[in-house]
Structure 1
């Protein structure tokens, strides 16, 4: 059972709007289902336009005073939130495991990761520098200052419900912006729990509001309300393109972190043990439900048999089970649709000549009520198969042979996505060449988990616009104002 220690009451969850806890005005709720068991975790308010309007109005009012605080004053609130996230780490991890199926130990890691963004941006907010420009006349002085953009909306995904929220709300807060958070319907309890921490940290009312409910009406209000100046969205490329169209009517600033189809390249000179361990970490993290996980594993033909043997042994050792169990490494898929897509990709690959090295079916027995699929490795994969062009978002690893560096770079880049790519080599010259040739925003060279708070995260091509994390993530919430002063 969930031990909330007063953090949240699962029997009476409410939205956090303008410093108050509120039910939906229409009284409606929706159910959050535990994908490990198929049972209802809790009922959450099904808010809509009215609640979103209230949150936006509160954010506009709060912006007047919040934006006037010094960066150090705002940073104190972020550091308090950072402290509280660590204090309630166990409870927050349990919530994630129950609502969206993240393995518990991994969920604890996400709490640490999410908190690291609050700490980083609290420190980085003190370095929002302007500049002076040499004037072309003796009676002028030219300067550039940077100011908060205003009210922002954060639309967060279910697969990293806390980290994606702090990665957006953290820089917005320290920049002087106020925020409305719309969490995914699969993982709203994490957002509500974060709202509780915001309250406990003493953050002024209206600076952060949490609105839960169907995406349509909430999104419509966010995009149509002129008070909202900027939207940060993490989700699919398909939805991202729709949001670009919606934003055009008011030219709202967007940050979009969208889909991926990451190549993972193992060259003939790689440390195969290290590469196989990295591939497992990247591919099966969060049950393969990450936008940066390895989707296509390219292995040099001369080492493909040895690599596959090592890789399969590691995959078969992964423990599958109820996500709340601390010993489990692979949990359920988040939804029935996600499970069916995994099955479709495996069936399509096998029908076109791929071979199963392990896995390949739903998990039965005592886990049959959950949305579990066996960790799966496919050999003999070619470009005619769906899995080489569509994001699987599940625990399936396709292995593809290659012969030359030029060939594998061409195949790796042959996608509309450009979020993350990985490669393993011990050759320094190749490391430089391949890093520069891959058309992806994030490169993991002998590193399967490259994401950190102090570095920019984002993609090229159809994987998004803008960056999160690093000083670049703070820039997204600031406007530059040029001042020419005559005297």
Structure 2
């Protein structure tokens, strides 16, 4: 059983999880957690302080010393057990995610599956902690390159996938031998706390995994700046990433930052149009467009643009919006300020010359009188410098730009400071092979919608981040290297 009991009409008083115990922390103040579908307060969490951050870090430091001595395969078994406990509670956990974040229930179940899968794959990496033995220039000597944990890792996550983003970082950190402190985002803190409620059952030692709550500018900054934290892994906005970069500079913290994206969606004249339209809809409107790898701007070859847009607009207009527990195509936006932000983005784009092909916007009447509802908007833009093309939207709004050829599409796609994900739809093998050399993005989807896999590598170029997550390359980032000169003269 978990510690959670979210009941309609009741406010659940959640606590932080520090050193194996539930605590209200050092402040009497709380943050309210809202259901974005009806604006009801479902829970409160402690408004953490720098003292709470320090307590979590100190607990993780003390526990990590012993954890690092546990054989990696045993660490992997514990992490796998946590994944099994999560998967066994898919229905309960998914309903919690939907209640605090707003994504449709089936999508939340998919997130629970990913949450467990990140742990399973991390456990598999336990036998892949490898070093090297090099031939020395000196007689009777070898050089050993060894891998060691950093010590204590801080995890800062976004509100769009509050469970999966937590274990994406937690799993490899623990298997590598690190301690871990998670700051659960104040908008969606319950998912991280739910995972912590299963930690003891999984056999995670007391103090090794801690979850603190509160606001990033206070608790997050304290976690980053504290001398105990050796590494910080964060998923969030570019603004937050820059703040963390500055906060970690004096302490020379190791940073892994997955930041925003502005993915171009290129459709050429020889593409399978129906397949491209379907993928464009999925890649834009899943989770109400709140995915960093979303289709953020479409570049359509002029020969197929009319056909593509007619079909795309029709599918976008037909998307169902409603109670996320009933599995519509789209649930609510996560908060009221997020809806307001989208409205401002569209207004600015239109003022700069964008043409509205599908007018969506905030929904506020009837069944939508309560909650943070927004309908899809599709724009056509002639100028690639339009703000809606250049700035991340993170919501159900997408601009389309017509291009004359493949070269122009690549040029406009690269005209951005982001470099996370990109899409290409074509049946021309030569173009497909040219694309990875021509597109300046860390992740490219060819003839498919988005959705990275746990054994690949998810990383951004440019201002979309540092480091990366997943697979053997992501796992290796949670280990530091040591050179040992073995001389036996």
Using the size of structure 1 for normalisation, the TM-score is 0.96
Give yes or no for the alignment of 1:454 onto 2:455.
Answer: yes
3-state SS of paired residue (1:479): strand
Deviation at 1:372, TM superposition (A): 0.8
* Corresponding position of 2:84: 83
* Corresponding position of 1:8: 4
3-state SS of paired residue (1:362): strand
CA distance in 2 between counterparts of 1:350 and 1:486 reads 70
Deviation string, structure 1 residues 149-184 (Cα, Å, up to 9, x no partner): 111100111001011111111100000000000011
* Corresponding position of 1:413: 414
Give yes or no for the alignment of 1:340 onto 2:309.
Answer: no
CA distance in 2 between counterparts of 1:425 and 1:114 reads 33
* Corresponding position of 1:484: 485
CA distance in 2 between counterparts of 1:431 and 1:377 reads 27
CA distance in 2 between counterparts of 1:211 and 1:69 reads 25
Deviation string, structure 1 residues 411-443 (Cα, Å, up to 9, x no partner): 000000000001111111000112221000000
CA distance in 2 between counterparts of 1:191 and 1:381 reads 43
Classify 1:91/1:309 alpha carbon distance in 2 versus 1 (closer, same or farther; 3 Å). Answer: same
* Corresponding position of 1:432: 433
CA distance in 2 between counterparts of 1:449 and 1:259 reads 15
Deviation at 1:381, TM superposition (A): 4.7
Q: Could you tell me whether the CA contact under 8 Å between 1:381 and 1:398 is conserved in 2?
A: no
Deviation string, structure 1 residues 53-107 (Cα, Å, up to 9, x no partner): 1111111110111000111100111111111111111111111111121111111
* Corresponding position of 2:9: none
CA distance in 2 between counterparts of 1:382 and 1:339 reads 25
* Corresponding position of 1:387: 388
- The equivalences for 1:274-293 within 5 A come to 274-293=275-294
* Corresponding position of 1:269: 270
3-state SS of paired residue (1:205): coil
Give yes or no for the alignment of 1:306 onto 2:302.
Answer: no
Q: List runs of 5+ in structure 1 lacking aligned partners.
A: none
Deviation string, structure 1 residues 278-313 (Cα, Å, up to 9, x no partner): 101110011011111011011101001111122122
Deviation at 1:357, TM superposition (A): 2.6
Deviation at 1:392, TM superposition (A): 0.8
CA distance in 2 between counterparts of 1:486 and 1:435 reads 45
3-state SS of paired residue (1:324): helix
Deviation at 1:446, TM superposition (A): 0.8
3-state SS of paired residue (2:159): coil
* Corresponding position of 2:360: 360
CA distance in 1 between counterparts of 2:349 and 2:225 reads 43
* Corresponding position of 2:237: 236
CA distance in 2 between counterparts of 1:450 and 1:101 reads 19
Classify 1:447/1:213 alpha carbon distance in 2 versus 1 (closer, same or farther; 3 Å). Answer: same
Q: Could you tell me whether the CA contact under 8 Å between 2:193 and 2:211 is conserved in 1?
A: yes
Using the size of structure 2 for normalisation, the TM-score is 0.96
Give yes or no for the alignment of 1:168 onto 2:169.
Answer: yes
CA distance in 1 between counterparts of 2:25 and 2:252 reads 30
3-state SS of paired residue (1:455): coil
* Corresponding position of 2:128: 127
Q: Could you tell me whether the CA contact under 8 Å between 1:30 and 1:43 is conserved in 2?
A: yes
Q: Could you tell me whether the CA contact under 8 Å between 1:264 and 1:279 is conserved in 2?
A: yes
Q: Could you tell me whether the CA contact under 8 Å between 2:221 and 2:244 is conserved in 1?
A: no
CA distance in 2 between counterparts of 1:206 and 1:448 reads 40
Deviation string, structure 1 residues 329-356 (Cα, Å, up to 9, x no partner): 1111112221112112222233344333
* Corresponding position of 1:146: 147
Deviation at 1:253, TM superposition (A): 0.3
Q: Could you tell me whether the CA contact under 8 Å between 2:2 and 2:194 is conserved in 1?
A: no
Higher alpha-carbon deviation: 133-142 or 388-397: 133-142
Deviation at 1:379, TM superposition (A): 2.5
CA RMSD of aligned residues (A): 1.3
Higher alpha-carbon deviation: 363-372 or 265-274: 363-372
CA distance in 1 between counterparts of 2:289 and 2:382 reads 18
* Corresponding position of 2:328: 328
Q: Could you tell me whether the CA contact under 8 Å between 1:349 and 1:381 is conserved in 2?
A: no
3-state SS of paired residue (1:193): helix
CA distance in 1 between counterparts of 2:222 and 2:313 reads 48
CA distance in 1 between counterparts of 2:351 and 2:190 reads 40
Deviation string, structure 1 residues 233-280 (Cα, Å, up to 9, x no partner): 111111211211111111010000011111000011100111001101
* Corresponding position of 1:371: 372
Q: Could you tell me whether the CA contact under 8 Å between 2:186 and 2:213 is conserved in 1?
A: yes
Deviation at 1:25, TM superposition (A): 2.3
CA distance in 1 between counterparts of 2:249 and 2:362 reads 43
Q: How many residues align?
A: 482
Deviation at 1:384, TM superposition (A): 4.2
Q: Could you tell me whether the CA contact under 8 Å between 2:33 and 2:43 is conserved in 1?
A: yes
Higher alpha-carbon deviation: 374-383 or 194-203: 374-383
CA distance in 2 between counterparts of 1:8 and 1:136 reads 61
Q: Could you tell me whether the CA contact under 8 Å between 2:30 and 2:45 is conserved in 1?
A: yes
Q: Could you tell me whether the CA contact under 8 Å between 1:346 and 1:360 is conserved in 2?
A: no
3-state SS of paired residue (1:417): coil
* Corresponding position of 2:399: 398
Give yes or no for the alignment of 1:59 onto 2:56.
Answer: no
CA distance in 1 between counterparts of 2:94 and 2:242 reads 32
Q: Could you tell me whether the CA contact under 8 Å between 2:152 and 2:229 is conserved in 1?
A: yes
